[in-house]
Amino acid sequence: MPLMTIKDAQEVQAILKEAGHDYQIELKDGKIIVMGPSDIVSSEVGSLLIRLLGNWIYPRRLGRIFDSAGGFVLPDSNLTAPDVSFVRAQRLRRSIRYFAEMVPDLVVEIKSQSDRIKKLEKKVKNFIKLGAIVGIVIDPDLETVKVFRPNSQPILLQNDDILTIPELFPGWEIKITELWPPVFTEEET
C-alpha cells in the first residue's frame, strides 16, 4: 500500500465530515489514523484545562491554545493533533487557515476510555524529542498528571499536588483536583 500524504488525510477528513462523522484524522509514518470522538470525561478535562490556561495566557498575550482539532505538521512529516496544545506568541504571531507546520511548545494528551497510557506517553515523548518544551499525559481514571520535559525524568502528580509550567507560564499554577469534572449534589441541580 502506498504511503499517504497530508493531502490524502485532508480528503479523508472531508469525506468523513460530508458523511456526518465527527472523526479526527492523524497521519503517522504515511498511514492515516482515524480517531473517534472522546468520551465526555476526557472532553471535559480538556475543556477545563483550556479554560484554566486561557484565563492566564490570553490576558498576558503569551501565545495560542488549541483543542484536539488543531492539527500540526511535524518535522517528521506526520500530522497530529494533541488534545490540548500551546504555541508561544513569538512563534505564531497570527493563526493561519492551515495546519501549523511546527512542534507546539506544550502538548497535552488526555486518556480516554479506550486509550492506552503507554501509547500516549510514547506520543508525548516524541513531541519532546522533536522540540516541545513540556509534554503532559493526564489520566482521569487514576486522577494523575505526568509531566515530561527534555533531559529529565517524568514527574507524576496526584490530587494533593500543584501543576506549574514555569518555562512557559511563569506564575501560573493549578491544583490537580481542578482538572477533574465536578460532581453535583442533588441540592445543586
Query: Residues 87-112: pLDDT tens digits?
Result: 999 999 988 888 899 999 999 999 99
Taking the CA atoms of 168, 173, 177 and 183 in sequence, report the sign of the dihedral they define: negative
Summarised one tens digit per residue, pLDDT across range 1-51 is: 567 777 777 777 777 777 777 677 676 877 777 776 778 999 999 999 999
Cβ atoms 173, 145 nearer than 8 A: no
Q: What predicted TM-score, i.e. pTM, was given to this entire model?
A: 0.87
Q: Could you give the CA distance from residue 179 to residue 182 in angstroms, rounded to a whole number?
A: 9
CATH class of 38-188: alpha beta
pLDDT of residue 45: 97
Residues 6+ apart with CB under 8 A from 106: 84, 85, 86, 132, 133, 134, 135, 136, 165, 168
pLDDT confidence band for 189 (50 / 70 / 90): low
- What are the residue boundaries of the structural domains of the chain, listed by start? 1-37, 38-188
